[in-house]
């Protein structure tokens, strides 16, 4: 299953050696696996973290520097912003999707629908459920910092619900007013940036406990 990768399967998926994976774990770059019996099992969050570490190494960062970046929230936020931009521009050197750890997700959020694709955050690639690499990596980092799973789920699900509603409204308008498919796609991307900017401004004000901009 996607959330039951042995270290050998994990190594094959991220194109690393098992020795490197264990070394990253000993350095605190990779969170511990789930132990069942005597076997360690890894999941999509481990894949996302290793993809990030590998990507930063290719940019010239040492493992010590990567550890500092991941451990420091303000610098990690800069990494996330940079990765989002590269994914948006389709210039990222990381795979856009990772396997979803279905069993772990259901364990912490049993109220999710039977069909997880209804959330809009999960989809099928072949016979495997996947989600976006950055969604998994960011969620895992917040969980490691102590943010409750219920709040993490609420952050993602409520944002996705609002996004689908707004996206459908934009789609309906553009279909009725813009004939050219290329221009419609461009305007959709601009609308995404507008929505993301508005969400970020309002969310950060509230999350930091700051008064609303007058």
Q: Where are the domains of the chain?
A: 1-146, 148-214
Taking the model in full, what pTM does it have? 0.80
Q: How far apart are CA 184 and CA 140, in angstroms?
A: 35
Burial of 3 (0-12, 13-18, 19+ CB in 10 A): buried
Q: How far apart are CA 182 and CA 103, in angstroms?
A: 40
Q: What is the CA radius of gyration of the chain?
A: 19
Best CATH choice for the domain 1-146 from the list 2.30.42.10, 1.10.1660.10, 3.40.50.740, 3.40.1670.10: 1.10.1660.10
Report pLDDT for 66.
92
Cα distances from 204 to residues 199, 200, 212, in angstroms, run 8, 6, 10
Q: What is the pLDDT along the chain (214 residues), one digit of tens a residue?
A: 456 899 999 999 999 999 999 999 999 999 999 998 889 999 999 999 999 999 999 999 999 999 998 888 788 888 888 888 898 888 999 999 999 989 888 888 888 899 999 999 999 999 889 999 999 988 888 888 889 988 999 999 999 999 999 999 999 999 999 999 999 999 998 999 999 999 999 998 999 887 765 4
Report pLDDT for 3.
66
Report pLDDT for 2.
54
């Amino acid at each position: 299953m996607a959330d039951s990768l042995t270290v050998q399967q994990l190594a094959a998926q991220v194109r690393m050696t098992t020795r490197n994976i264990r070394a990253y774990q000993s350095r605190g770059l990779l969170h511990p696996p789930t132990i069942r019996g005597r076997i360690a099992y890894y999941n999509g969050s481990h894949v996302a973290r290793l993809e990030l570490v590998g990507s930063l190494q290719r940019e010239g960062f040492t493992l010590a520097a990567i550890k500092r970046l991941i451990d420091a929230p303000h610098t990690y936020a800069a990494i996330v912003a940079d990765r989002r931009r590269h994914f948006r521009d389709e210039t990222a050197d990381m795979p856009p999707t990772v396997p979803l750890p279905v069993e772990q997700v259901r364990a912490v959020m049993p109220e999710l629908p039977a069909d997880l694709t209804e959330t809009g955050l999960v989809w099928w690639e072949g016979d495997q459920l996947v989600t976006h690499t950055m969604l998994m990596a960011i969620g895992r980092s917040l969980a490691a910092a102590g943010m409750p799973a219920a709040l993490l789920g609420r952050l993602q699900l409520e944002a996705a619900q609002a996004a689908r509603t707004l996206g459908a409204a934009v789609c309906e308008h553009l279909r009725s007013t813009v004939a050219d498919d290329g221009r419609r796609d461009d305007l959709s991307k601009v609308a995404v940036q507008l929505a993301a900017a508005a969400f970020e401004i309002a969310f950060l004000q509230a999350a930091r406990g700051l008064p609303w901009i007058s």
